[in-house]
Structure 1
Amino acid sequence: MIEKIRTLVVDDESLARRGLVVRLQEFDQIELLQECPSAREALEVIGKEQPDLVFLDIQMPGMNGFELLREVQAHGYKMPLVVFVTAYDQYAIKAFEVRAIDYLLKPVDHERLAQSIQRIEKSIAARAQKVQQDRIVNMLAEATGEDCEAILKRLASGEDVSVARYPEHIAIKESGEITRVAIHSIEWIDAAGDYMCIHAGSETHILRRTMKELEEELNPQRFQRIHRSAIVNMEHVEKLCSRQNGEYHLILRNGKELKVSRSYKDRIKKLILNQ
Structure 2
Amino acid sequence: MSNKIRTLIVDDESLARRGLAVRLQEFPQVELLDECANARQALEKITSLNPDLIFLDIQMPGMNGFELLREVKQQGTKLPVVVFVTAYDHYAIKAFDVRAIDYLLKPVDHERLAQTLARVEKNLAQRERDQQQQRMLNLLADATGEDCEAILRRLADDKEMGSTRYPEHIAIKESGEITRVAINSIEWIDAAGDYMCIHASDETHILRRTMKELEDELNPNRFQRIHRSAIVNLDQIEKLCSRQNGEYHIILKNGKELKVSRSYKERIKKLILTT
Distance of 1:75 and 1:150 partners within structure 2: 30
Distance of 1:156 and 1:125 partners within structure 2: 23
- The alpha-carbon deviation at position 10 of structure 1 amounts to 0.7
Distance of 1:137 and 1:106 partners within structure 2: 43
Distance of 1:82 and 1:97 partners within structure 2: 12
Q: Which residue of 2 aligns with 1:107?
A: 107
Distance of 1:157 and 1:30 partners within structure 2: 41
Q: Which residue of 1 aligns with 2:79?
A: 79
**2:149 aligned with 1:149, yes or no?**
yes
Q: Which residue of 1 aligns with 2:14?
A: 14
Secondary structure in 2 matching 1:27: coil
Deviation by residue 1:142-171 (Cα, 9 ceiling, x = unmatched): 112233223223334554428xxxxxxxxx
Q: Which residue of 1 aligns with 2:137?
A: 137
Superposition TM-score, scaled by structure 1 size: 0.56
Distance of 1:28 and 1:161 partners within structure 2: 42
**Is residue 92–residue 103 contact of structure 1 (8 Å, CA) maintained in 2?**
yes
Distance of 2:75 and 2:153 partners within structure 1: 35
Describe how 1:59-208 pairs up with structure 2 within 5 A: 59-161=59-161
Distance of 2:77 and 2:147 partners within structure 1: 29
Amino acid in structure 1 at the alignment position of 2:133: Q
Q: Which residue of 2 aligns with 1:175?
A: none
Deviation by residue 1:195-253 (Cα, 9 ceiling, x = unmatched): xxxxxxxxxxxxxxxxxxxxxxxxxxxxxxxxxxxxxxxxxxxxxxxxxxxxxxxxxxx
- The alpha-carbon deviation at position 2 of structure 1 amounts to 6.5
**Is residue 2–residue 29 contact of structure 1 (8 Å, CA) maintained in 2?**
no
Q: Which residue of 1 aligns with 2:35?
A: 35
Amino acid in structure 1 at the alignment position of 2:146: E
Higher mean alpha-carbon deviation, 98-107 vs 139-148, is at 139-148
Aligned length: 162
- The alpha-carbon deviation at position 14 of structure 1 amounts to 1.1
Distance of 2:122 and 2:153 partners within structure 1: 24
Distance of 1:37 and 1:158 partners within structure 2: 51
Bigger Rg, structure 1 or 2: 1
- The alpha-carbon deviation at position 76 of structure 1 amounts to 2.3
Percent identity of paired positions between Structure 1 and Structure 2: 71
Q: Which residue of 1 aligns with 2:227?
A: none
Secondary structure in 2 matching 1:117: helix
From the superposition, tell whether residues 87 and 72 of structure 1 become closer, same or farther in structure 2 (CA, over 3 Å): same
Structure 1 runs of 4+ aligned residues shifted over 6 Å read none
Distance of 1:39 and 1:135 partners within structure 2: 33
Distance of 2:43 and 2:2 partners within structure 1: 27
**Is residue 7–residue 33 contact of structure 1 (8 Å, CA) maintained in 2?**
yes
Secondary structure in 1 matching 2:161: coil
Amino acid in structure 2 at the alignment position of 1:97: D
- The alpha-carbon deviation at position 128 of structure 1 amounts to 0.8
**Is residue 8–residue 35 contact of structure 1 (8 Å, CA) maintained in 2?**
yes
**Is residue 11–residue 17 contact of structure 1 (8 Å, CA) maintained in 2?**
yes
- The alpha-carbon deviation at position 42 of structure 1 amounts to 0.9
From the superposition, tell whether residues 83 and 158 of structure 1 become closer, same or farther in structure 2 (CA, over 3 Å): same
Secondary structure in 2 matching 1:138: helix
RMSD: 1.8
- The alpha-carbon deviation at position 36 of structure 1 amounts to 0.8
Distance of 1:115 and 1:126 partners within structure 2: 17
